[in-house]
Structure 1
Amino acid sequence: MLVEEIMKEKVITLSPEETIEKALKLLHEHHIRHIPIINEENEVIGIVSDRDVRDASPSTFEKETNYEELKNPIRSIMTSPVTTVHPLDFVEEVASIFYEQEIACVPVTRDEKLVGIITEKDMLYTLIQLTGTHVQSSQIEVKVINKPGILPQVTQVFGKRKVNISSVLIYPYKPDPKYKIIVVRIQTMNPLPTIEDLKSEGYEVLWPQMPGIPT
């Protein structure tokens, strides 16, 4: 899946000379957590988060509150330089950027011009779509030998029942690197016949463990 498929194209932005007060107002009005800061050429030169603005705002608990701080330009608190991604980047690669850099938002640029934005919430929703958990389905986890060609062999068993597969994930079997776990989500609320097929073919089903069916 590409970034352009999940990014928000309508982006609330500010110029570096706008005030912290203006940023605070936009964050509340649009219920957002990040605002890219752009120059006259629509190039991203910084970014501010709700935390940046909150930290720069006067405390309501202080007896003598100095609201003049809100008149300071946003460039005084923005983060720069900014990590950006391209619309044709893969979402999986962007997810690693979120994790490695511990960030919650990335602007999307094309030819150095801002064209969109992706947030943690967008990434989480995309993960839900990719794993198929947003549709009525059943999850089956199969332990298999880690060897070439094993995936089509397993999915062939699912084909016998003519069930629709919502998603397929593969991850390591930690106790023994010679094995992997294939997680298949199928569009049925009764996975029992498929589980029986898998076990009759010699596969070990780790989940679900159905009563009365040997592992």
Structure 2
Amino acid sequence: MAVKDFMTKKVIYVSPDTTVSAAADLMREHHIHRLPVIESDKLVGLVTEGTIAEASPSKATSLSIYEMNYLLNKTKVGQIMIKQVITVSKLASLEDAVDLMLRHSIGVLPVVDNDVISGIITDKDVFKAFLAVSGYGEDGVRVRLITDDTVGVLEKIVHLISEENLNISNTVNIPRQDGKVIIEVQIDGEFDIDQLKQKFVQNGFNVDGITRTSSKN
């Protein structure tokens, strides 16, 4: 899974000369929490709700609302933006992007190659990718099997399903510490789930669950 397959390609951004007030308005308008700062087609920084909050006068200040708004309209994004921005390549794996987010405790990565931004990937994009990979929200049947993590086990599962002329849309493998593996298979269509369950049991599989799923669209 590559970053380019899941990133948000339409990037809403500001320039270093954008006022803090205008950047905050843009975030509210688009329901986002951070904005890349671009100058001459190159990424030069990142402004977030947090950096704007730090730049805003404290509620305990003696300044009037007019004075506070005046300051925010005079302060430029370039004065408060994060300049050392952690980025990721569009060719990197999604797993690499998630690892970067976790290690640096951040929820967004601008996607940059040769100093040019082509997208942005956020924690929400990662959540959507997980749902897509797991087959969530699809009509069909999900089978959860617990089996030995041995060579050929997935091939055997696929063979048993194909014998019933059924199509697999997604598979997820989850290793366990006891040497076993959980294999979840999403299968398209309407069919007798009890019959399929019995077939797996007869072939030595532990069927931990088999349920019908429905579209979430």
Normalising by the residue count of structure 2, what TM-score does the alignment of the two structures yield?
Answer: 0.84
Partner of residue 213, structure 1: none
Q: 2:110 aligns with which of 99, 107, 112?
A: 107
Q: Which has the higher contact order (CA 8 A, sep 6+)?
A: 2
Stretch of structure 1 that moved more, 182-191 or 161-170 = 182-191
Instruction: Check if 1:119 corresponds to 2:118.
Output: no
Q: Return the letter of the residue paired with 2:27.
A: L
Local SS of the residue matching 2:63: coil
Alpha-carbon offset, residue 182 of structure 1: 1.0
Stretch of structure 1 that moved more, 92-101 or 106-115 = 92-101
Q: Structure 2, unaligned stretches of length 5 or more? A: 212-217
| CA distance in structure 2 between the partners assigned to 1:31 and 1:202 by the alignment | 51
Local SS of the residue matching 1:153: helix
Matched-pair contact (CA < 8 Å) for 1:35–1:48: yes
Q: 1:150 aligns with which of 153, 169, 172?
A: 153
Local SS of the residue matching 1:81: coil
Normalising by the residue count of structure 1, what TM-score does the alignment of the two structures yield?
Answer: 0.85
Partner of residue 194, structure 2: 192
Supply the RMSD in Å over aligned alpha carbons. Answer: 2.2
Matched-pair contact (CA < 8 Å) for 1:131–1:166: no
| CA distance in structure 1 between the partners assigned to 2:60 and 2:159 by the alignment | 65
Alpha-carbon offset, residue 24 of structure 1: 0.8
| Matched-pair identity in % | 27
Alpha-carbon offset, residue 61 of structure 1: 7.5
User: Residues 53-68 of structure 1 correspond to what in structure 2 (within 5 A)?
Assistant: 53-58=52-57, 64-65=63-64, 66-68=68-70
| CA distance in structure 2 between the partners assigned to 1:191 and 1:101 by the alignment | 45
Deviation digits for residues 77-99 of structure 1 (CA, Å, limit 9, x no counterpart):
22231111122222232222222
Matched-pair contact (CA < 8 Å) for 2:9–2:120: yes
Q: Return the letter of the residue paired with 1:44.
A: L
- Structure 1's consecutive aligned runs of 4 or more residues displaced over 6 angstroms after TM superposition are none
Partner of residue 23, structure 2: 23
The 1:179–1:64 alpha-carbon spacing in structure 2 relative to 1, beyond 3 Å, is same
Instruction: Check if 1:6 corresponds to 2:9.
Output: no
Partner of residue 182, structure 2: 181
Alpha-carbon offset, residue 43 of structure 1: 1.9
